[in-house]
Structure 1
């Protein structure tokens, strides 16, 4: 006799870093995991590294039709998502006076509008089932301003506001929405930040990385698995709702 079917979790930006660590942890916790992102080769490799059933779906989430295609594929292949982890994002460093309209729009499209569309599409089946978890990977700059990253900071402030509004709207229907707000994490995105700092300041990559490490009281970069653990706590605990949970070694206290 077959046992119960495992619930489905969709993780965006799952080809590497926080997304991959989260997909692995959700799989270990009994979820069928959907790994979404732009790079098919990375997704296939990531899916192969995930224990248990894993489905790789290539999608550019800044394109509305591809958001619909992602969730339709998940539902046709398995079932509606019970968990959505909106992790896909991008960063940009530039003085505000040198931030172009195109760069500003890129930050909003990827870090704010794409999660909005994913949440909007994932919610109806969750509300119907009266069960669901939404977690957005934001940033500590969702809670503070920081020089050189005005567009990125604005997009992350926006997505935290989105999460809080959604949380209040759906709480009475068995669905929760939270944000996890990491500091500097040891990921390829941070590697790019390190390279940009080194180039801008004339330092070595090691020196630039040390600068980021010192910005956090623990004097090291956060590990992707530490962020994933915070995501899992939001998934497992239905009393956590509308929160922006800092995973930054104590850099921002709230």
Structure 2
């Protein structure tokens, strides 16, 4: 049994990750800003729920008084808008949650993590390519990939690995928001908007949460001990 931490565990990919690690017999701790959402994730499973914001340095540092074996920096956010409509507050918030939150999580984890440890960031295909109307999101996720590759070099000789999972559009609330934005901006119905959102995926569909979870479980496994500094695309061939 390993000790696992998943940030942003209250919904979407984070919920899927936490439940999968718990079902595999690991001791799982989840964090997020909403206690009710964390409790829902933990329903029927033995998990530790801690209300914490990944942008809160003290709160994140406090998580790592005891070492974790597997740490998944999953908490994230994103809004679609032309760059000219992005406020400085929106820009700063996006980078704070997606990039600084990952930095704080990884930094805290490495202060106590032992050999065999796994650091995993849930990034995005937006960390590997640009995209219209998602400048802040792309910038933050490119930063996450850069951080992962740098950390991987630092920890390689310590027996720790650091990798990223880069999904395309996943069937989550964030994807639903993207579809709604396209419906409003383009004046199309939901079916057409969905088709437009997933047009970059050669499979022509949303990625399932379980597909992202499976990739993370692999990177956390003993069989992935030589996979380090990698950005694993889960995107149907988009990347």
| Residue number in structure 1 paired with 2:6 | 11
Aligned residue in 1 for 2:63 = 70
Determine the C-alpha separation between the residues in 2 that align with 1:165 and 1:49.
38
Answering whether residue 51 of structure 2 is matched by residue 58 of structure 1, we say yes
Aligned to 2:75: 88
Aligned residues: 237
2-side partners of 1:205 and 1:37: how far apart? 30
- 96-105 or 198-207: bigger deviation: 198-207
- The answer to which of 197-206 and 109-118 deviates more is 197-206
Q: CA RMSD in A?
A: 1.2
Match of 2:25 in 1: 30
Question: 1:68: how far off?
Answer: 2.1
Contact 2:73 2:122 in 1 (8 A): yes
Secondary structure, aligned partner of 1:136? strand
Q: Find out whether 1:165 has 2:160 as its counterpart.
A: no
Give me the TM-score of the superposition, normalised by structure 2: 0.96
Q: Tell me the TM-score normalised to structure 1 length.
A: 0.90
- Residues 105/141 of structure 1: CA separation in 2 closer, same or farther (3 Å cut): same
C-alpha distance after superposition, 1:35-86 (max 9, x if no partner): 1111110100101154xx31111111112122123334xx3xxxx2111000
Residue 205 of structure 1: how far off its partner (Å): 2.4
1:174 match: 159
Structure 2: unaligned runs, 5 residues or longer: none
Partners of 2:64 and 2:112 within 8 A in 1: no
Structure 2 CA distance for aligned equivalents of residues 202 and 211 of structure 1:
12
Tell me the equivalent position of 2:189: 204
Deviation at 1:138, TM superposition (A): 0.5
Identify the residue that residue 145 of structure 1 maps to in structure 2. Answer: 130
Q: Is the 8 A contact 2:98 2:141 kept in 1?
A: yes
- Residues in 2 aligned to 1:100 and 1:156: alpha-carbon distance in whole angstroms: 18
Specify the SS of the correspondent of 2:64.
Answer: helix
Deviations 1:189-234 (A, max 9, x none): 1111111111111122232112123321111100001000000111
> Partners in 2 of 1:32 and 1:206 — Cα distance?
40
Contact 1:59 1:70 in 2 (8 A): no
Distance 1:208 1:57 in 2: 37
Gaps of 5+ in 1: 1-5
